[in-house]
Homo-oligomer: A and B are copies of this chain.
Amino acid sequence: MTHKQLFNQIIQKKSFLCIGLDPDMERIPQHVKDNYDDPVFEFNRQIIRATEDLCVAYKPNFAFYEALGSKGWESLEKTVNFITRNHFKIADAKRGDIGNTAKMYAKSVFEKMNFDAITLSPYMGSDSVLPFLEYKDKTAILLALTSNKSNSDYQLKKLVTDDLVYEEVIQESTKWTKAKNLMYVVGATHPEYFESVRRWAPDHFLLVPGVGAQGGSISEVCKHGLNKQVGLIINATRSIIYAGIGEDFAAKARIKASEYVYEMEHILRDQGFV
């Protein structure tokens, strides 16, 4: 999916919501575990069916599938195949490895599994990212400023140039060939940094985790994060997929997702996008 197509989806659905698909066996409703051979896929299937008109993207975090071994990997493959082509499919894998290995990851995620995008750690530099940028209409989403508490350990350290490490990550990478195929992860838990992010990456989409269970605010993020193409995909995971624990978990997920979309639609109207 191109970023233009993503923008069109946002306008059409009046939503820039991404839903994380992190199925934790300890939190999947009991009746799903009791009645299905592949409860992970069934859980995802019901969440997707209940929310697909509300969100523009889905983001399975690979850890939750890998924890289940090869069977989990199968559930992941079935899940990505089940998501419609009108959704931006993000492999939340946070990979980062040397060139020949990066190529293998790109092949796995973009060719074998047909994801539209993958999250990547920038620590190893351009070698580890460029192979992903080679793909037409695919996106590499670089961790810039993450939503967790210990982002201050390294991302917020100041360089001699006076820039913070995460700012350097954005500045450097926007100079790479095919940098237009990049997006950046910027956590909603730090809305005060969006102004600086937009200084270095005015045109890129940002993937924003940290709303919901982690406490970030959609309106605060939008204040400095929106650009002319909206430029934001805001993700929520636990607050949606674990909104309910009974047989109505998918309906509960839909209600929670609708709340976010209500707020997003309001913002899109205010800003004249719809």
Interface residues of A (CB under 8 A from B): 22, 24, 61, 63-64, 66-71, 73-74, 77, 94-99, 101-102, 104-105, 107-108, 112-113, 121-128, 143, 146-155, 157-160, 165, 168-169, 172
Instruction: Verify A125–B155 contact, CB threshold 8 A.
Output: yes
Instruction: Verify A105–B160 contact, CB threshold 8 A.
Output: no
Instruction: Verify B124–A146 contact, CB threshold 8 A.
Output: yes
For this chain, the copies found in one complex come to: 2
Query: Cα distance A247–B104 when bound, in Å?
Result: 25
Across the interface, name the chain B residue whose C-beta is closest to A238.
B100
Which residues from B are CB-within-8-Å of A77? 69-70
- A-B pairs, 10 with minimum CB distance: A125-B150, A125-B153, A70-B73, A63-B104, A127-B150, A67-B108, A126-B150, A70-B74, A98-B148, A121-B121
Instruction: Verify A149–B123 contact, CB threshold 8 A.
Output: no
Tell me the minimal C-beta distance from A273 to chain B in angstroms: 30
Query: Cα distance A112–B73 when bound, in Å?
Result: 14
Query: A97: which of B24, B70, B94, B172 is its contact (CB, 8 Å)?
Result: B94
* Given A121-B121, A124-B143, A150-B124, residue A67 in contact with residue B169 (CB < 8 A): no
Which residues from B are CB-within-8-Å of A22? 101
Which residues from B are CB-within-8-Å of A98? 146-148
Instruction: Verify A101–B165 contact, CB threshold 8 A.
Output: no
Query: Cα distance A151–B123 when bound, in Å?
Result: 8
Query: A127: which of B124, B126, B148, B157 is its contact (CB, 8 Å)?
Result: B148
Instruction: Verify B97–A67 contact, CB threshold 8 A.
Output: no
